[in-house]
Amino acid sequence: MCAVCRWRLCRDVSAIDRLHYQLSGPDDLVVDRRQVAVLDEDGGVTGEVRWRDPAAAVLPAGAVASRVNATAGVSGTRNPQAPTSLDAVDLTGPARHATIHDPYHDQVGYVSAATVLDSWVRLLRVELFGHQRLPAATVGSLTDWLLAGGVVSRLEIACNRFAAVDEMTVELRDLLSALRSVAGETEPPPRRYLGVPCRGCNVVSQLVQEGDYIECEHCQLLLNPDELQQWLTTAAQRWGIRGTH
């Protein structure tokens, strides 16, 4: 795996953690607060009310009754439509300890981020880190485990030695896309430095910035922002070139 792909994978794992935290906020919980009248044995109204679904009154994504089951005793406003944040509930749900993959993209709904990460962490531990303990099956702990590990992160080691790293990269990229979609976040478009030659191959207009790193599309040279700024300064002094996009 090339240096650019490694950097993108690390960036994606960090973004998954950030977006999951954003979607997990208490303000995003979906709560069913509909009430129904309590009837006596003869079907008369007692004057008391109760939650239609007691668990749903305090927990997200409670059951929503169908119109067929509705009764005249329902009080309050009419039933709201299913909220779009149910997708957020799917993605921020707890991990299910199973290896779940959807290569054909025919699954209805989303598998939680914790489930996807947990499945890959377990596979990595079996193949590469058998002497180490598994982290807690939460998104924060799982991403920390991947991005930590000593001088070289476990994710870097996986890029070198994990046979299924390409499959893992695609699946984590799909997860990130789902989180971005539900959070209403779009990935910033890449910036191309027109008229600027590459420091490595000297081909013009091939330097493209995507996130925090700049890559030459011709020779795959990778620059960080400080290195790019130094090169732009040099290019301006030598040839009067200024990077545009």
Contact 230, 214 (CB under 8 A): no
Report the pLDDT value the prediction gives residue 1, as an integer from 0 to 100.
Answer: 77
Highest averaged pLDDT of the listed ranges 15-29, 50-64, 92-106, 113-127: 113-127
* Mean pLDDT of the chain, nearest integer: 77
| Residue-by-residue DSSP string for 89-139 | HHHTSPP-SS----TT---SS---HHHHHHHHHHHHHHHT-TTSPPPPSSH
> Mean pLDDT across the stretch 28-43?
55
Mutual angle of helices 165-183 and 3-23, in 10-degree steps: 40
Report the pLDDT value the prediction gives residue 136, as an integer from 0 to 100.
Answer: 93
Report the pLDDT value the prediction gives residue 159, as an integer from 0 to 100.
Answer: 93
Nearest by Cα to 30 from 53, 50, 57, 69: 57
SS3 42: coil
- Where in the chain are all domains bearing CATH 2.20.25? 191-239
Q: Which burial class, exposed, middle or buried, applies to 180 when counting CB atoms under 10 A from its CB (0-12, 13-18, 19+)? A: middle
Fold of the CATH domain 191-239 = N-terminal domain of TfIIb (2.20.25)
> Mean pLDDT across the stretch 6-28?
83
Per-residue pLDDT of 134-188, as tens digits, reads 999 999 999 999 998 777 889 999 999 999 999 999 999 999 999 999 988 877 7
Q: Which residue has the higher pLDDT, 38 or 153?
A: 153
Percentage, residues of the chain above pLDDT 90: 31
Per-residue pLDDT of 65-118, as tens digits, reads 444 444 444 444 554 444 446 888 889 989 887 555 556 555 656 899 999 999
Q: Is the pLDDT of residue 52 over 60?
A: no
Paired tokens of 158: 């996986």
> Mean pLDDT across the stretch 41-69?
52
CA geometry: angle at 201 spanning 197 and 207, to 5°? 45
Percentage, residues of the chain above pLDDT 70: 69
Q: Which residue has the higher pLDDT, 17 or 30?
A: 17
Q: Is the pLDDT of residue 243 over 70?
A: no
pTM for this model (two decimals)? 0.61
